[in-house]
Amino acid sequence: MAIEELETTIKEALKELNIKDINEGTSTGMNNFSSGEILESYSPVDGKLIGKVKTTTAADYKKVMESANEAFNQFRLIPAPKRGEMVRQFGEKLRKNKEALGKLVSYEMGKSLQEGYGEVQEMIDICDFAVGLSRQLHGLTMHSERPGHRMYEQYHSLGVVGIISAFNFPVAVWAWNTALAWVCGDVCVWKPSEKTPLCAVACQNIMAEVIKENNLPEGISCLITGDYKIGELLTNDKRIPLISATGSTRMGKIVAQVVAGRFGKSLLELGGNNAIIVTPDADLEMTIIGAVFGAVGTAGQRCTTTRRLIIHESIYDKVKEALVSAYKQLRIGNPLDEKNHVGPLIDKQAVELYNEALKKVVAQGGKILVEGGVLFGEGYESGCYVKPAIAEADNSFEIVQHETFAPVLYLLKYSGTVENAIAIQNDVAQGLSSAIMTNNLREAELFLSVAGSDCGIANVNIGTSGAEIGGAFGGEKETGGGRESGSDAWKIYMRRQTNTINYGVGVALSQGIKFHL
């Protein structure tokens, strides 16, 4: 795609999404307001300024919370299926805006156009899921030990949900949270990454149409923008019972401590250090496709990116040779050009961390198999394009133990049985996604057993990257322990209440206790 064509494409997308040259970054529904400083958004694709938003001030935040709390008092009284209808309409508008929003995601974040479209599709899918869920917010009934009594559980709306999202999925993770929170009767205040603010403005504009058309309270969907200081307003606010935060483990530890200190709840989706185990019984063609996409998709900037490949010594050289050959076929460039496999890193700070990781793995005793490096020249003017790299390493290396948000893949060798490979895989602080490549039923089932992977996600014969919205998404250990999206993840957005009804003629105490006056 030529530069002129790219500029035209993005301008058309911004126009369709109702994004002007300077946007108000604080929003409650239709009414935008802010008195903060200007935040500029530059694309890692070509380094050009896309647009500007005004950041949120403490005074702006106060207005947002007033609007959100007022909206909650009304919204929680609307029947859940009616709230589901609102989410259905939002999903329909996303379908109409999928191309424009997908292009903006690709351009502002740097992921491939197909991944940009895929991210919007995730938003549509979670809306569909939430619509059905709106008629299934079920509790349990229990038998009472007391005659003439009935017990049951029910779930009530929680309140204002604070959402802090990361740059790598600038729209989908917000939708995972909001779609479920909305059908549960909650309202949401969203603090997106300061690196991708225009994607957030676009989503808010789309939702504002739904709110206006249905004559609903504006504070159902609120947007605040800025750096970590704005996020701190959310995490410290006692009026927000749940904070859902996606980002680094370092950030998550801070959020968890602050929110726990005020007895709030946290839903944390943090770092990953994901591995694929490759056994002698693996299908090598399947392995290479899964490993390469897992390692270089989104330029290695997914929390589920494949960081480590744990290969049995008997097939190690064969797998290594196939990987090196596959990497030679990768095309790096403008992510809106569908011929390219790898786009840019988000910014130059990410490039620095990538370079540091390659230096460290060599310094700690590793060997570079596929050379990395920063690309310059025509098509790489932003300075954010890097070569996906492969290094032979040991799991004990300090750099391997940490997550590098870049396309750096470490090859690790194991001997003996699959139990040895599982031990290597689990020997990191993070526990998000994992996979095994094998046609051996025993190995597959062992990997999925209690003695197998200690991650929140464990796959057989697919890679670590990517997840369907029907399953609960999240991880263990330093990944935070949160669960978003499908299954019963909706329960964290509600408060559970146990109810006992006495329809008898007297008062019967539990445990057979006698009390007379």
Catalytic residues: 269, 303
Are 443 and 436 in contact by the 8 Å Cβ rule? The answer is yes
* DSSP symbol at 220: G
Q: 341 is written with which tokens?
A: 């496999």
Q: Which tokens belong to 158?
A: 């929680």
Listed in sequence order, the residues at least 6 apart from 441 whose beta carbon sits closer than 8 Å to its beta carbon are: none
* Distance from C-alpha of 460 to C-alpha of 450, rounded to nearest angstrom: 15
Residue 435 identity? A
Q: Rounded to whole angstroms, how far apart are CA atoms 188 and 64?
A: 10
Answer yes or no: are the C-beta atoms of 292 and 285 closer than 8 Å. no
Return d(Cα 494, Cα 76) in angstroms, integer: 11
Contact of 204 with 154, CB cutoff 8 Å: no
- Name 390's Cβ contacts closer than 8 Å, sequence gap at least 6: 323, 324, 327, 368, 369, 370, 408, 409, 410, 411
Query: Hey, is 327 helix, strand or coil?
Result: helix
Tokens at 250, concatenated = 């370092």
Rounded CA separation 408/294 (Å): 11
The Cα-based distances of 260 to 77, 162, 234, 241, 264 in angstroms read 28, 14, 13, 10, 5
What strands lie across the sheet with 149-157, from one edge to the other? 141-142, 149-157, 494-502
With helix as H, strand as E and coil as C, how does 377-390 read? CCCCCCCCCECCEE
Q: Which DSSP letter does residue 308 get?
A: E
Question: CA 311, CA 505: separation in Å to the nearest integer?
Answer: 70
Which residue in 246, 153, 203, 144 sits closest to 483, CA to CA? 246
Half-sphere exposure of 187 (CA within 13 A, CB side): 30
- Whose CA is closest to 339, among 117, 119, 118, 112? 112
